[in-house]
Structures are given as structure tokens and as C-alpha cells.
Amino acid sequence: MGLTKQAAIARIREAGLIPIVRTSSSGHALVAAEAIDEAGIGIAEITMTVPNALRVLEELAERFGSRVLLGAGTVLDAEKAEAAIAAGAEFIVSPCLEPAVMEAAARHGKPAMPGALTPTEVVAAWRSGADFIKIFPCGPVGGPRYIKALRGPFPDLPLVPTGGVSRETAPQFIEAGAVAVAAGSELIDPRALAAGDTATIASTARKYLEAIQAARARMAAPSR
């Protein structure tokens, strides 16, 4: 049955980090997900570009149950959204705003995170019912400075930058106003993945999480 929509949204907000699993084989995707679980993050986005991605989602949903909130990424049409949800995806991510994908997620009570970049696209995504707005690709257009600029006119919108999110920039994005960040190859090192080195990937993931938590603590601390 899965989590309620609000529970899924709350988990993403609480963690502040969405590891993106985009690999060249389904076997590597399973290894990456194991490392993410080992790190204790409890969230993993499996992109639909992973070979046999739906089967990967099914296997991970069976293996992890509610311990890991699984998302489907790079969802470009309603048919794929429906299939991903049936396979166990609890949230749906797109690199762009595709209304049919949003509608499919809404039908099943799953959070939707469409991609946007410009202010016009950000507003369009929010008005279409987005639960989070993926700012992509964020790195090339200014990184944390761009998020801070968007927060000026849109102080209450839940922005999730993707692209250029490293261990160093992750806390900067949070302090700039992002509710969470999403990271792929910067978090899941391809060399460690090829070697089946889950310990290294898990260690990196934990460092991301610690950096995000430290940034939030700084923001919550009373100013002197």
C-alpha cells in the first residue's frame, strides 16, 4: 500500500537529500541502492534510464519495504509513471514539466517533482500541482546563487536543485533556501560502483547527509 503522500513528502523534507541512481546496468543499480540503505538515508531515486528499471524498482520494493522511500526518475510520460508506481515508486521525478505525468502521480496519491529552470517554468510547475520543483540543471546557471535568486520572488516554493550538487555545494544549496538536494554521480562514485564498493558509497552519502544537517543547524542557530 505504501506511504501516504504527506508521509512521503515529509520524509523527503526531513532527509534533505535524494540520491539519484543512474547506472549502466540493473546490477549496479541494486548495488548503489544497497549502499544508500547502508548509509541510512532511506530515500533512493531510480531513473528510468537504468536498464530494466521497473524490475529494479520491484526488487528493491520487495527487499526494503517501507525502510527506503523509492522514487522513479526521468519519467517522461504517463505510461511510464503508471508502470513505475505499480512497480513500487512512491514519488515521481521528471526533468521537465509534463502534465500527463503530474496527473498520473496525482491519481495514485504520489508526490510529483517536475523539472523547471526559469522563473516562468517554476511558476508553471507549481500551478500544475507540483509537490517539489526540481531545478535542473542548476549547476551551470549559478548553483546555490541561482537558488538564492529564485527564493527572492518565490520564498515559499519547495525547490530541489539537481546538477552540480557536490559534498561542498550541498550545504550551500540548503543555506540558499533549497528544501532538499538531489545528487547522482557526485554521490554514487562510478569507480566505487564498478568495484562493488558499497562502503565507500555509503561513507560519501553519510558525509552529504552530515553536511546538510550541519547547514540546517547553522540556519536554526540564533543570530548574535
pLDDT tens per residue across span 21-33: 999 999 999 999 9
CA–CA separation, 148 and 7 (whole Å) = 27
Domain count, the chain: 1
At 100-116, the pLDDT tens digits run 999 999 999 999 999 99
DSSP for the chain, written as a single string:
----HHHHHHHHHHH-EEEEE--SSHHHHHHHHHHHHHHT--EEEEETTSTTHHHHHHHHHHHHGGGSEEEEES--SHHHHHHHHHHT-SEEE-SS--HHHHHHHHHTT--EE-EE-SHHHHHHHHHTT-SSEEETT-GGGTTHHHHHHHHTT-TTS-EEEBSS--TTHHHHHHHHT-S-EEESTTTS-HHHHHTT-HHHHHHHHHHHHHHHHHHHHHHHSPP-
The residue segments making up the domain with residue 182 are: 5-220
Instruction: Note whether 13 and 61 are within 8 A (CB).
Output: no
Provide the pLDDT for residue 3.
86
At 203-215, the pLDDT tens digits run 999 999 999 999 9
List the catalytic residue out of 34, 45, 98, 186: 45
Provide the pLDDT for residue 189.
93
Provide the pLDDT for residue 29.
97
**Region 132-137: what's the mean pLDDT?**
98
Q: Is residue 224 very low, low, confident or very high in pLDDT (cuts 50, 70, 90)?
A: low
Q: Clarify whether 45 is annotated catalytic.
A: yes
List the catalytic residue out of 5, 80, 110, 134: 134
Q: Clarify whether 134 is annotated catalytic.
A: yes
The CATH number for 102's domain is 3.20.20.70
pLDDT(185) > 80: yes
**Dihedral, 183, 15, 47, 60 alpha carbons, nearest 10:** 130
pLDDT(223) > 80: no
At 51-83, the pLDDT tens digits run 999 999 999 999 999 999 999 999 999 999 999
Mean pLDDT of the chain, nearest integer: 96
**Region 145-173: what's the mean pLDDT?**
97
Q: Is residue 1 very low, low, confident or very high in pLDDT (cuts 50, 70, 90)?
A: low
